[in-house]
Amino acid sequence: MKKTAKRLLSRSPKLYRYAAAGYKITQSIKGARDSRWNYIKCMYSAVRKLDRSLGTPILLNIEPTNICDQKCTICETGLNILERPKKVMTFDEFKYLLDQFNSNLREIFFYFMGEPFLNKDAYRMIRYAADRGIYVSSCTNGNKVKPKELVESGIGEVSFQIGGMTQEVHEKYRAGGSLEKALRNLEETIEWKRKLNLQNPKIVTGFILMRHNEHQVEDFISYAQKVGVDEYQIIGTCARTVEQAKEYLPTDRQYWYYDEEELAKGNLIPKIRPNNYCEWLYFTITIQVNGDVVPCCRDPKGKMVLGNVFQENIYNIWNNEKYRKMRKDVTTRQKDIKLCELCSGYSAPLLR
């Protein structure tokens, strides 16, 4: 019976969208009674491919700073090609934009194109959001984290991501980074969580898998199990160019996001390509450090600005002419949009 249903769904993309949407709705609204109707409205807008979202954002992707202490060799910030002025968001700016959101905002991704904990107000910002009942998660290279302040901030989840298990290998990608500092801060964060007897944060460590470090995967797993992280992850490499793909992609093809045959021809194309469908544009909002709203994390340089939250209210931007055109273009001619070229598609976030 299950196999028959799977075959039928695979033959009809539209039917599959509705089935997947129904599953996400049932999974999300179990523990979020006050936001379930908003979630359903967002999902309805996505599967119907409307040019507006009938709901309001449930997830905010915020950029505390676009500055980083490391020169990672794929990242636009690390390569110094971000093409945006360097800036650190103030606490007052963060508070001003967050206060514009209603209670349907349930989660914050507290990072984008910089190291979030270079912002001296990062822990205060997280605490302000957490005190509003918003689940905050962040990603860090680990070098600038203050473990006690991090644990006490109320953050829900933090991921320490490294590039190797020796300094020599780590810095081939995390140029300028100290593996010793990152691991020490990770371990101290675990210790402070234990000392304070807290359920959160969920402490994760990620291994950015590349050709030059794949021989250290087992060492990474052994280390993660030894120190007692809540979760460890092997993270596939996201290349921006064919040259980067050829240099960094590991020999283990299961971690490739990209089509092998096309890469051999000199084309960087994801294995899975969304077909005029993107739930992300109906559920989430991405705000850069200067207040610019962009469609998603696929616009690190801020080339497709939809509005600015320091000049206009978030909900006026959410369904303005630019946002509606963006949704219409993505749902009718996605293959022509540069923003979507390397994207395998982001599904709707689940309600925490």
158 CB-contact burial (10 Å; exposed 0-12 / middle 13-18 / buried 19+) = buried
φ and ψ at residue 231, rounded to 5 degrees: -160, 145
Lowest model confidence (mean pLDDT) among 13-17, 162-166, 301-305, 306-310 = 13-17
Mean pLDDT of the chain: 91
In this prediction, residue 13 carries a pLDDT of 63
**pLDDT bucket at 351, cuts 50 / 70 / 90:** confident
d(CA 51, CA 20): 20
pLDDT digits (tens, 9 = 90+) for 111-128: 999 999 999 999 999 999
- What pLDDT shows up at residue 4? 52
pLDDT tens for 40-96 read: 999 999 999 999 999 999 999 999 999 999 999 999 999 999 999 999 999 999 999
* Alpha carbons within 13 A on the beta-carbon side of 327: 24
What number is the average pLDDT over the span 287-313? 97
- pLDDT bucket at 350, cuts 50 / 70 / 90: confident
Percent of the chain with pLDDT over 70: 91
Cα 110 from Cα 117, distance rounded (Å): 10
Q: For 184-221, write each residue's pLDDT tens digit.
A: 999 999 999 999 999 999 999 999 999 999 999 999 99
- In the prediction, which pLDDT does 24 show? 67
Mean pLDDT of 9-32: 63
Q: What sign results for the dihedral spanned by CA atoms 121, 123, 126, 130?
A: negative
Pairing state between β 292-294 and 284-287? antiparallel
